[in-house]
Copies of this chain bind each other. A is one copy, B any other.
Amino acid sequence: MKTRDRILKTARELFNARRFGNVTTADLAAECGIAEGNLWYHFKNKRALLEALSDGFLDEVEHRLALLPSDETRVLEDYANMIEALVSEIRRYRFLYRDQADYGEHTDQLLERLPGIYRDTLAQFQTFLHAMVKAGHLDMNRERLPELATNMVIILRYHLEFLRESGADSDIGSGAVASAVQQHLTLFRHALTPDAATQLDAALSDRLLNA
């Protein structure tokens, strides 16, 4: 892997673990096994690093937001694909959501988009839920879908923080991710047909093993 990419990957991991403001550039260089000067060779300053990361994040988000129910018969697979993407996005980039207070006043492209991202994500979930209802997988009053979507997004977004705050373990590995997905399923599993439930389970566990 090229040094520049290694820096970005390591920075992502350190920022997620210890937050942006608490990772010094010296730490980062040490963790990458390079001289600190080499950081400045690849990135103008710490903020440039943040911007490179948030560019990657924004790209991923757009791709994930484009994942929509395609065919009536494949809603559940499509949903599982979207969840896989969302969960990987949250696991790898959660510091971007979380550490806004560390970035300072700078008008970031990211800060402008975040509200829209949440809005679009909620709309995306509602679209999937409607599709599940239409396909006969989900039995729920249409009026309840918006609030359910909100609950789903919150659980997926914060279950990792919840595990961490409650001291489950600092290792936010695939186990934690899997349990976030399980937890979000509890929000609507009771309203799924038995068939749909087993199908969803299968599709999700397929996709979460190679994570």
Contacts and interface: CB of A to CB of B under 8 A. Distances in A.
A158 B154 contact: yes
B167 A157 contact: no
Interface of A, helix, strand, loop or mixed by DSSP: helix
A63 to B, nearest CB: 20
Contact of A18 (B101, B162, B166, B168): B101
Nearest to A23: B101
Contact of A102 (B22, B97, B148, B190): B22
A87 to B, nearest CB: 16
A203 to B, nearest CB: 20
A22 B9 CA distance: 25
A119 interface: yes
Interface size bracket, A side: 35 or more
Contacts of A153: 162
8 contacts: A22-B102, A100-B165, A118-B167, A153-B162, A154-B155, A154-B183, A157-B158, A187-B187
Interface of A: 18-19, 21-22, 97-98, 100-102, 111, 114-115, 118-119, 144, 147-148, 150-151, 153-155, 157-159, 161-162, 165-168, 183, 186-187, 190
